[in-house]
Amino acid sequence: MGKRRTVREEIAELERSGTLTAQQASVLREAPRWSIEANELFAYLGGLIAAIGVTWLTIALVQDTSQLGIAVGMLIAGAVIGLGARLVHRPHHWRSRLAEALAVVAVGLITGAIGIFLNVAGLAGDHATTVATGACVVLGVLSSRRSQFAGTLIFVIATQVFVASLIGTLNLEDSLIAALLFIVSGAVLIAAGVSRIGFALSARVVGTVSYVLGTFTFGVMQDNVSTSIGALIIAVLLFAMSTRLLQLEVIAGGAIAVTLTTSILVSRIIDDQVIQGLAIVIIGIAMVIAAGAVNKKRRSS
């Protein structure tokens, strides 16, 4: 696979071919990646404060009631904030982003209320959380392509909570399967983060963190060489994937995962710390030499 050109390289090529004038190319180079006005920031802050106020007021009114009363209060607060999001929304306007921010808060409150309702109905805490967040995952996936960021945030947050509660539901806390579930959820989020969804960066970052932590946990959960080798293979897969995606956060995560799992494996095989350090240095140098040989071969072909 050939080297992908950067935005600046693409602009330079279009300028050389005459597709862009020098002035147009300069404007594109100097344009900010994103911009936001002060009034929009104040609107976000005001909306957040109002949402917190509604939640606070509702909880204050029902705090001395039963668990069911708290769930009803959360449901009412979520409905009020959701209605506010609906009223604030205006297509193709900064107010649509404010509406999405309020929608995320509303979904969180309603999901929490549903979890409490299920728990009151007799479902265990982990089971109730799994059901409620599972519904959130579906909602997030369905809305991630149509929203600017709300659907993706709901999907990303709910996925991690869903996996954690599923581990508790299945009593997998001390098993390798728990680590594998976080690795799989990380891979799913990374894959979603390179598709056409809103705020894809959040999916890639959280997915990478989940993958790296899951890989590290897999490597240290059992004190034997085989699991360390397995963790290293999983880490190498992430790094190999990152070289194709060319997303900085995934590349960094893959590099960290490979470094950590290499260190774990070497420490399991070799007892002497000095030799461990030398072995890790040799592995790193060998990787650099191999990468240089591959690049040289690509240039000559």
- pLDDT per residue over 145-157, tens digit each? 888 888 898 999 9
pLDDT digits (tens, 9 = 90+) for 176-230: 999 999 999 999 999 999 888 888 888 999 999 999 999 999 988 888 888 989 9
pLDDT at 36: 55
Is the pLDDT assigned to residue 172 strictly greater than 50? yes
**pLDDT, the chain, mean:** 81
Range with the poorest average pLDDT among 169-173, 274-278, 285-289: 285-289
Q: What CA–CA distance (Å, rounded) separates 77 from 51? A: 8
Confidence of residue 62 (pLDDT cuts 50, 70, 90): low
Pick 90 or 120 by higher pLDDT: 120
**Percentage of residues of the chain with pLDDT beyond 70:** 79
Confidence of residue 1 (pLDDT cuts 50, 70, 90): very low
Is the pLDDT assigned to residue 42 strictly greater than 70? no
